[in-house]
Amino acid sequence: MTTTATSESPRPWPVQECRSPRCKQPIIWTLTERGRDMPVDAEPSKGGNVALRWNADGDTVMSSVPKPHLAFGRHDLHMSHFATCPDAYWRAAPRGGGRRGRHA
């Protein structure tokens, strides 16, 4: 696992490589507000809609989708890797796959 420091976080986000054979892009594993694992692209994106933050304990990267009026003009939003991975077919896998899939 590598880390990347950004202006949006006081500490580096934990970055991993997507394990999809055609992708291999850097991703950050996050935990959504509903408690689900979600990979996001490591670099912020102009079309991104996912905000990242550390949880209160500082050991888990949390993700949330801000309301559009709060997201307007932000440059620190990431894109869900489900939307950008060329092997996104795996997202339709049965529930409970979590980090055990190709993107683990």
Query: Is 102 inside a domain boundary?
Result: no
Phi, psi of 62 (to 5 degrees): -100, 150
Report if residue 94 sits inside a domain.
no
Q: Is residue 58 part of a domain?
A: yes
pLDDT at 47: 87
Cα–Cα dist 35/25, whole Å: 24
Report whether pLDDT(5) > 70.
no
Q: What is the mean pLDDT of the chain?
A: 81
Domain limits at 72? 2-86
Q: Which of 9-18, 35-44, 53-62, 89-98 has the lowest mean pLDDT?
A: 89-98
- How many structural domains are present in the chain? 1
> In angstroms, what CA-CA distances link 6 with 23, 34, 50, 62?
22, 25, 15, 16
In a domain, 101, yes or no: no
Asked whether residue 21 is assigned to any structural domain, the reply reads yes
